[in-house]
Amino acid sequence: MAKLLIVEARFYDHLNDLLLEGARSAIEAAGHAHETITVPGALEVPGAIALAADSGRYDAYVALGVVIRGETYHFEIVAGESARGLMALSMDGLAIGNGILTTENEAQALTRAKKDEKDKGGEAAKAALAMLALQGRFAR
């Protein structure tokens, strides 16, 4: 049984609740354990995963959050840099599923977060598990 850490950027509570529901359901359905921690925003997710990875307590990671385009350039920075940070960690060998939504509006985010629609939280958890399986396949 693997242990996954869900790192959520809790900014939009109602949307995060939906993402968490999907991620937890997918992990539990696969027979694995999980813990959840919360960070202030999407930019902090990669740093939290890096800190947790150093602990050696987790086998894989699920990044969750919602970034909705606003009126300023901040959206591009948050969306791009959080994705870049997660990609760097995955290139370093961590099994990560990226479930940080980057949408134009709340309606798009809601569709992607709902478990009975796009279930991006569940998909992120499944991606983390798939990458964990690849780690095992290629382990020396």
Q: Output the six-digit token pair for 64.
A: 């969750």
Non-local CB neighbours of 72 within 8 Å, separated by 6+ positions: none
- Catalytic position from the list 14, 32, 34, 74: 74
Q: Is 62 annotated as a binding residue?
A: no
Q: Looking up tokens 């959840």, which residue turns up?
A: 36
Measure the CA–CA gap between 107 and 42, rounded to whole angstroms: 19
Measure the CA–CA gap between 90 and 94, rounded to whole angstroms: 5
Q: Looking up tokens 């591009």, which residue turns up?
A: 76
Q: Is 112 annotated as a binding residue?
A: yes
Q: Is 35 annotated as a binding residue?
A: no
Instruction: Give catalytic status of residue 14 as yes or no.
Output: no
Q: How many residues does the chain have?
A: 140
Q: Is 43 annotated as a binding residue?
A: yes
Q: Is 66 annotated as a binding residue?
A: yes
* Backbone dihedral angles phi then psi of residue 96, each to the nearest 5 degrees: -130, 135
Q: Is 44 annotated as a binding residue?
A: yes
Q: Is 140 annotated as a binding residue?
A: no
Give catalytic residues, as residue numbers: 74
Binding residues for 5-amino-6-(D-ribitylamino)uracil, as ranges, are 11, 42-44, 66-68, 98
Residues contributing to the annotated binding site for (2S)-2-hydroxy-3-oxobutyl phosphate = 71-72, 112
Q: Tell me the binding residues.
A: 11, 42-44, 66-68, 71-72, 98, 112
